[in-house]
Amino acid sequence: MTTIDTALPTAISSAPQPPQFPTARPGMGFNEASAAVVDYLKAFLPMGFWAVTRFDGLRQLYLEVRDDSYGLDAGGSHLWEDSFCVNMVAGKTPRIAPDAMAIPEYAASGVAGQINVGSYVGIPITRADGELFGTLCGLDPAPRSDEMLQHGPLLDILGMLLSTILETDLERTRQARLLERAEAAAESDQMTGLFNRRGWDRYMEIEEARFRRFGDPGAVLVIDLDGLKEVNDTLGHQAGDELIRLAARVIHETIRDCDIAARLGGDEFGIIATNVVPADCDLLVSRILAGFENTGVSASVGHAPYTVVAGFPGAFAVADEAMYAEKQRRRAARLAAR
């Protein structure tokens, strides 16, 4: 009887085995998948820096980082126009560059002027409609051999894996937000129909985890009405209540469906604006102030961008401080005009 020896030769059996390929599981979040992929690449294709990044319309934000060469951490960022990835995504440069400085566009990039980059890998992470979300990115101070190019198919698969899990996670998050809105009646301010302070605090806590998971750009706005006390004292509290309702209506009609507005108490309102860069937020403030002016409402507004480092509490504190500074400026201007 003929038998087949299934034992591997000693030389092969003792050879180091590559790390286990990261596998998706039902319900896996994008942040979990990102951590698994960068851990795998750090072991399988060691480079000084591996990261999953987010393009927020202005900057490249590091969501998940494994770095032992540059001192970079999750939450850090740089201008998108300074990145290697801006040219890679545009198709102007290769996704894998064993000798990055031999590529003129990479050598001339802003990042290359800040840190020493010898080799580079960049793979787009996209939405289902083709919109760019970010990149899977690797950097190393030393150039590599051209053998690095053989990993292109694997890196493409990992990029597609992250893109697929991203889309599933985003849709799951969208559905959860819709359900939360439908269940929010108990957390609504009776006078204005906006969220009350309890709803605002709960929403910020829930959204904090989501913003950190996806690196979403966003901003917090704080609005304080001018002269409510004088209206109450001269025209009565019913007129003051009508002023509050009028301001709430302007806010509700100005923000988008994906934004959240709340009456924080008295004559103070808060807005969480999602997927906005600073320029977008400036436009939103302008529209709100124009709406107030058209309806005879006077108010002071402060705003601050959301950052992964400071979170919503930090953005709210900065926006609140900016609002009070604006209120002081407006008060001083009125006194000077008398």
Report residue 38 CA to chain centroid gap. 19
Average pLDDT, the chain: 87
Instruction: Quick: pLDDT tens for 186-240.
Output: 688 889 989 999 889 888 888 888 888 888 888 999 999 988 778 787 888 888 8
Predicted local distance difference test score (pLDDT) of residue 234: 85
Contacts with 175 (C-beta within 8 Å, 6 or more apart), sequence order: none
Q: What is residue 137's three-state secondary structure?
A: strand
Residues 97, 76 contacting (CB under 8 angstroms): no
Average pLDDT over residues 124-151: 94
**Is pLDDT above 80 for 338?**
no
Least confident span in 28-37, 96-105, 232-241: 232-241
**Is pLDDT above 80 for 138?**
yes
E-assigned strand segments in the chain: 49-55, 59-67, 77-79, 96-97, 119-126, 132-140, 218-225, 260-265, 268-274, 299-305
Predicted local distance difference test score (pLDDT) of residue 3: 37
**Is pLDDT above 90 for 142?**
yes
Average pLDDT over residues 13-21: 53
Position with higher pLDDT, 273 vs 332: 273
